[in-house]
Amino acid sequence: MSARLTIVVGVTGGIAAYKAVGVIRALVLDGHSVHVVATEAALRFVGRPTLEAISRNPVATDLYEGVAEVRHVALGQSADLIVIAPATANTIAKLAAGIADDLLGNTVLASTAPLVIAPAMHTEMWRNAATVANIATLRGRGIHIVGPASGQLTGADSGPGRMEEPEVIARVALRAAGVSPRPAATAVPEPVADVVVLSERRRANEAARLPRGGVDLAGRRVVISAGGTREPLDPVRFLGNRSSGRQGVALASAALARGADVVLVAAHLEVDPPEGVELVEVQTALELQSAVTEAARSADIVVMTAAVADYRPAETRDAKIKKSEAGETLTLELVANPDVLAGLAHDKRDGQVLVGFAAETEPDPSALIELGRGKLAAKGCDFLVLNQVGWSQGFATESNEVVVLRKGGDIVMEASGTKLSVADRILDVIA
């Protein structure tokens, strides 16, 4: 059970306000005390009784209620975490300017807790220079921005602007407060809120419109590197790593199922590659670099799941290194391998999507995300799939848990489950 937090959920006035119920529900089910602060506009979209029933607490809206107990600062001061979902363009602008003309604005200003916002608006509003500048300002202050997702909007249009799914927002928010959410499987087995069911149903409907496996990558050329490179020391020994290649192979299977032409650049896979891929087997980082770079010239999507050795022995002996010559200690001189991903980003052709992976041992969730953001910027790729690894985590397992960041550092998706289901979610983001 994770630590019990006091969480303020701000709900602002957009059509996605109905999905805020799912966010509140997820946080309550994770064992936290949730206090909703709704704007007047939000209550036009979702009823106060619903928010009170789901949060199990009274809903606050009015700046001038509870003046004696100084409610406008008390809520902010008591919060361990503030989540605003949905955050409209107007709310984002007010947050950027520090405007406190309602209870939510006051609560935010009176708080030093992590603030997570889930923007929701039409694509044009999201792309408007004012919103872009406001989001940059908020990000610069360390505010976490989740989404928006791309997809069908309220009208007939579609594009980026749809509020991220409630479960994702809840998970990202808890991580921002340094709490690992309980796995969904161990959550209280109550039916989830109707809105979550609705959004699942919509996803199912969207999937049903596609033939089996989806067609969204038909005719696309996808290059995937997988496994772990080995750098030979002598004819019998190498420097290697624990990557099994399972996540890369799962991505290859998922891309094939969507009709893509898949090149799998494989370094020592522990699992069989799927039938139907063009398989290029490599041993070392240098071999992997030349195979991937060559294949990438005609690729629409390049995904680097391979664990590439950062260093190789300065010298590879032709004969076995003997104990008699090394003595009690043996010092190896290593030289840096090229950064394949950074090179691909440098030479990327127009329209190509480049995806990196990062396996990190950092245990703190927010520090992990910051590491990922740094790596994404350093590598110059379009997306970075981040996961935590350890002695017993991440390698040679059938499941995975990832956070996907896009260029600029926004979290665009979180997924956990089998490596195949995670692969499918990753392809959804890329496609």
Is 362 a binder of ligand CTP (CB under 6 A)? no
Q: Should residue 118 be labelled a site residue for ligand CTP when binding is judged by CB under 6 A?
A: no
Residues 6+ apart with CB under 8 A from 350: none
Segment interacting with ligand CTP (CB under 6 A) among 107-115, 200-208, 303-311, 417-425: 303-311
Enclosing H/E stretch for 25: helix 17-29
Min dist. Cβ of residue 403 to ligand CTP (A)? 14
282 part of the interface to ligand CTP, by CB under 6 A: no
Helices (H), 103-231: 103-109, 123-127, 129-140, 166-176, 194-208
Q: How far is the CB of 216 from ligand CTP (least distance, A)?
A: 23
CA atoms of 268 and 336, how far apart (whole Å): 21
Which residue lies nearer to ligand CTP by CB, 117 or 402?
402
CA 30 to chain CA mean position, Å: 20
Integer Cα distance of 44 and 52 in angstroms: 15
Look at the block and give the residue holding tokens 């008390």. Answer: 74
Give min distance, CB of 223 to ligand CTP, in A: 12
Binding residues for CTP are 310, 320, 338-341, 357, 375, 379
| Residue keyed to tokens 């990000």 | 139
**Residue with structure tokens 């040679």?**
396
Dist CA 415 CA 421 (whole Å): 8
Q: DSSP 3-state assignment of 413? A: strand
395 binds ligand CTP (CB under 6 A): no
Catalytic residues: 241
Q: How many CB atoms lie within 10 A of CB 42?
A: 26
Contact between 310 and ligand CTP by CB under 6 A: the answer reads yes
Segment lying near ligand CTP (by CB under 6 A), choices 140-148, 306-314, 325-333, 362-370: 306-314
Supply the DSSP symbol for 128.
Answer: S
Number of residues that bind ligand CTP (CB under 6 A): 14
Minimum distance of ligand CTP from residue 373's CB (angstroms): 13
Binding mask 4-33 for ligand CTP (x = CB under 6 A): ------------------------------
Contact flag: residue 308 with ligand CTP (CB under 6 A): yes
**370 binds ligand CTP per the rule CB under 6 A:** no
Is residue 337 within the footprint of ligand CTP (CB under 6 A)? yes
Residue 336: CB minimum distance to ligand CTP, A: 8
Of 163 and 306, which CB lies nearer to ligand CTP in the complex structure? 306
Stretch that binds ligand CTP, among 173-181, 210-218, 332-340, 398-406 (CB under 6 A): 332-340
Helix/strand/coil for 296: helix
How many Å is the Cα radius of gyration of the chain?
Answer: 24
Answer yes or no: are the C-beta atoms of 112 and 82 closer than 8 Å: no
Question: No. of H helices and E strands in the chain?
Answer: 16, 19
The reply on whether position 287 binds ligand CTP by CB under 6 A is no
Which residues are paired to 414 by β-bridges? 403
Q: Which residues are annotated as a binding site?
A: 310, 320, 338-341, 357, 375, 379
Alpha helices per DSSP H over 36-78: 42-45, 48-55, 71-78
Distance from C-alpha of 389 to C-alpha of 418, rounded to nearest angstrom: 16
Residue 359 interacting with ligand CTP (CB under 6 A): yes
Q: Is 358 in the site for ligand CTP (CB under 6 A)?
A: yes
Tell the smallest beta-carbon distance from residue 225 to ligand CTP (Å). Answer: 6
| 107 within 8 A of 82, measured Cβ to Cβ | yes
Give the x/- contact pattern for ligand CTP in 234-273, rule: CB under 6 A.
Answer: ----------------------------------------
The pair of structure tokens assigned to 52 is 């009170």
The least distance separating ligand CTP from the CB of residue 304, rounded to whole angstroms, comes to 4
The 8-class DSSP code of residue 41 comes to T
Contacting residue, 306, 353, 403, 412, with ligand CTP by CB under 6 A: 306
Amino acid type, 296: A
Sole window of 230-238, 301-309, 318-326, 401-409 interacting with ligand CTP (rule: CB under 6 A)? 301-309
Contact residues toward ligand CTP (CB under 6 A) are 285, 304, 306, 308, 310, 337, 339-341, 356-359, 379
